A = this chain, B = another copy of it.
Amino acid sequence: MRGVLDVPEALVPVQGLIADALVRVESVFDEHLRAELPPVDQLCAHVERYRGKMLRPILVLLGAISAAPEAPELFASGREDELVTDELIRLAAVCEMVHMATLVHDDVLDDAELRRRGATLNHLRGNEAAVILGDYLIAGAYHLCATIGRLDLSERIGRVSMDLCAGELLQLHHRGDLSLDEPTYFEIVRRKTGTLIGVSCELGASLVNAPPETASALYQTGLRLGVAFQIRDDLLDLTGDEQRVGKSVRKDLEKGKLTLPLVHHLGACEPISRGRSLELIEGGAGGVSEADERELLGRLTETGSVTYTEATARALVNEAQQQIATLPPTPARALLDALAQAVVDRAL
Contact = CB atoms under 8 A, between A and B. Distances in A.
A132 interface: yes
Interface string A112-147: 000000000000000111011111101110111111
A278 interface: no
A165 B105 contact: no
A324 interface: no
Interface stretch (A16-24, A35-43, A81-89, A328-336): A35-43
A173 interface: yes
A169 B109 contact: no
A129 B39 contact: no
Given A136-B162, A161-B139, A170-B39, A131 B154 contact: no
A138 B139 CA distance: 8
A149 interface: yes
A169 B139 contact: no
A157 B159 CA distance: 16
Given A43-B169, A132-B109, A170-B39, A162 B149 contact: no
A149 B151 contact: yes
- Secondary structure at the A interface, as helix, strand, loop or mixed, is helix
Interface string A88-124: 0000000000000110010011000000000000000
A159 B140 CA distance: 7
22 contacts: A37-B169, A39-B172, A39-B173, A105-B131, A105-B135, A131-B131, A132-B168, A132-B172, A133-B165, A133-B169, A135-B135, A135-B161, A135-B165, A136-B162, A136-B169, A138-B161, A139-B158, A140-B158, A143-B158, A147-B155, A149-B151, A151-B154
Interface of A: 35, 37, 39-40, 43, 101-102, 105, 108-109, 127-129, 131-136, 138-140, 142-147, 149-151, 154-155, 157-159, 161-162, 164-166, 168-170, 172-173
